[in-house]
Structure 1
Amino acid sequence: MLLNHKIYGQGVPVIVIHGLFGSATNLGMLIKQLKTDYQVIAVDVRNHGLSMRHDSMHYDDMANDIIQLMDHLTIEQAHIVGHSMGGKIAMRTALNFPTRVSSLAVADIAPVNYPPRHDNVFAGLKNIPLADITTRSDAQAKLAEHVEEAGVQQFLLKGLYKNTQGQYGFYYALDTIIAQYDAISDWPETNKQYDKPVLFIKGMNSDYITSAHKSAIAQYFPHAKAKLVQGTGHWLHAEKPVIFNKIIVDFLFSH
């Protein structure tokens, strides 16, 4: 099955890939800016949004999903922009299919294996009794017992929906994501390199990209450059959208 996707604008294709628990609308401000000059394809990755459910979330499989969609849309080459988990999918797509990727912009993630850091999120989401809640406030109260940050609560609850029978559910396959979390956190070793333009964008206050990751980045992406966004954490695209968007636009324009 093809990834659910939305297409905006016309021109050179740019594929935008969201992170864990996200959807095709996550990078909406960036999409709005890019669509005046590019054809932007925003995707729901597998087990998210309206895309297919699957018991694998290995990065080679998720890279294949991107190429399958490109084939369906008869897109020979595209620039790819990815945030967090979406950045890992973007990196894997570029490494596995270098002739299909014109350039790569990766927001606040490195090609490394990360230790577990979502245990409280999983506990909070599992704490929401979907069959019993009657309002979004009920869900937020249950989530808040494990997730303190209001911004994170709001982001996670964007994935909560109510069907026509008044029952709540998630737009992401929570149980599969939990079961596949080792694969999501992992970065499978490969000898491949991508030698086209690559930009890593780091939130200054985030620990997702550190100096310890420089060698891994150079190993896979020998021409990679980096930009820092001051005063931001992992959600840099939401915290400083004007600066983040300009960095992406300038990078794409230069290539």
Structure 2
Amino acid sequence: MSYQTTKTINLNTHIKGQGFPILCLHGHPGSGSSMSVFTNHLSKRFQTFAPDLRGYGKSRFQGNFDMEDHLDDLERLLEQYKIEKCLVLGWSLGGILAMEMALRSPERVTGLILVATAAKPYGNHPPISWQDNLFTAIAGIINLIKPGWRWNINTFGKRSLFRYLIQKHTPQAYRYIANDAVSAYLQTSAGATRALMQAIRSGYDKTSEIQNIHCPSLVLVGAEDRHITANSSLETSRNLKYCQSHCYQNTAHLLPWEIPDLILADIDSWLVKHPQATCQPN
């Protein structure tokens, strides 16, 4: 089923810093604020734009829509802020949209940083039991009240669905979950979920198309990712012409919250090696 929407919407956008623009696109469920692990660091040298996508965060939208509408909204955002060229960093769903933007407007996208994502996303998440949901609810509520509490992590967190999202059950990772994940989850609309599920059910696969992307790319992969498997992410990296990839052991889908210092250091190193991604002279 395809839904016809007639207009773009203004996206609530978190803007930080000054300099060359970096567009930071969140996953599902998520919001622009959940990209703070990247924007707090990158905005020291660049200007970061982290929108709440349609149906997420404060970008309210009533009703159904297609994934294509996200791209139209993002095109409008670039026009709104007079962004002629930008680097696009995308996490999960955001990475899929980043590749779509590079295919749609190659003259605008100077580089891609793709985190826990794939052109043909495949997951191997085990079935979810009632105990999983119960322990996740308990762990999440306690973590909101006392973020990163080791007792909660050991007693409930490691027995909850968090065990498929992270492998390093550190207080730091749980603080990110408390600060940036829970509110984003609660603000995600049913229409946004339907749009994503519709794309997945239709057999979304842009593996062959991404071979036409010519900007430099960086793919960051959690080796134990069950939501978008490491193999599907690495297949994407092999089909991108100018791509470097890193696969991090003992991490999963939320790897930027598990090993933020290492992720950011590898991004910084890649940016130094690819100055054209931020339109810097060689």
Using structure 2 for the length normalisation, give the TM-score. 0.70
Aligned pair in 2 of structure 1 residues 216, 205: CA closer, same or farther (>3 Å)? closer
Aligned pair in 2 of structure 1 residues 205, 111: CA closer, same or farther (>3 Å)? same
Q: Find the aligned partners of 1:22 and 1:171 in 2 and give their Cα distance.
A: 8
8 Å Cα contact 2:213/2:241 also seen in 1: yes
* Counterpart in the other structure of 1:238: 257
| 1:105 counterpart SS class | strand
| 2:193 counterpart SS class | helix
Instruction: After superposition, give the CA deviation of every residue in 1:4-48 in whole Å (9 maximum; x if it has no partner).
Output: 101100000001111101111112122111111000111111111
Q: How far is 1:217 from its partner? A: 4.4
Q: How far is 1:187 from its partner? A: 2.4
* Counterpart in the other structure of 1:166: none
* Counterpart in the other structure of 2:25: 17
Q: How far is 1:110 from its partner? A: 1.0
**Does 2:45 match 1:37?**
yes
Q: How far is 1:226 from its partner? A: 0.8
* Counterpart in the other structure of 1:132: none
**Does 2:213 match 1:204?**
no
Higher helix share: 2
Task: Pick one of 53, 57, 70 that aligns with 1:62.
Answer: 70
* Counterpart in the other structure of 1:195: 214
> Which protein, 1 or 2, shows the higher relative CO under an 8 Å CA cutoff with sep ≥ 6?
2
* Counterpart in the other structure of 2:161: 149
8 Å Cα contact 1:159/1:172 also seen in 2: no
| 1:14 counterpart SS class | strand
The sequence identity of aligned pairs, in percent, is 23
Instruction: Name which of structure 1's ranges 244-253 and 148-157 shifts more when overlaid on structure 2.
Output: 148-157
Q: Find the aligned partners of 1:57 and 1:44 in 2 and give their Cα distance.
A: 16
Q: Give the number of aligned pairs.
A: 236
Using structure 1 for the length normalisation, give the TM-score. 0.76
Q: How far is 1:178 from its partner? A: 4.0
* Counterpart in the other structure of 1:46: 54
- Give the gaps of 5 or more residues in structure 2: 1-8, 146-155, 167-173, 276-282
- Give the gaps of 5 or more residues in structure 1: 129-135, 162-168
Q: Find the aligned partners of 1:46 and 1:116 in 2 and give their Cα distance.
A: 27
**Does 2:241 match 1:227?**
no
Q: Find the aligned partners of 1:55 and 1:196 in 2 and give their Cα distance.
A: 33
* Counterpart in the other structure of 1:73: 81
Q: Find the aligned partners of 1:156 and 1:22 in 2 and give their Cα distance.
A: 13
Q: What code does the residue aligned with 2:65 have? A: S
Aligned pair in 2 of structure 1 residues 176, 236: CA closer, same or farther (>3 Å)? closer
Q: What code does the residue aligned with 1:252 have? A: L
* Counterpart in the other structure of 1:170: 186
Q: What code does the residue aligned with 1:40 have? A: T
* Counterpart in the other structure of 2:151: none
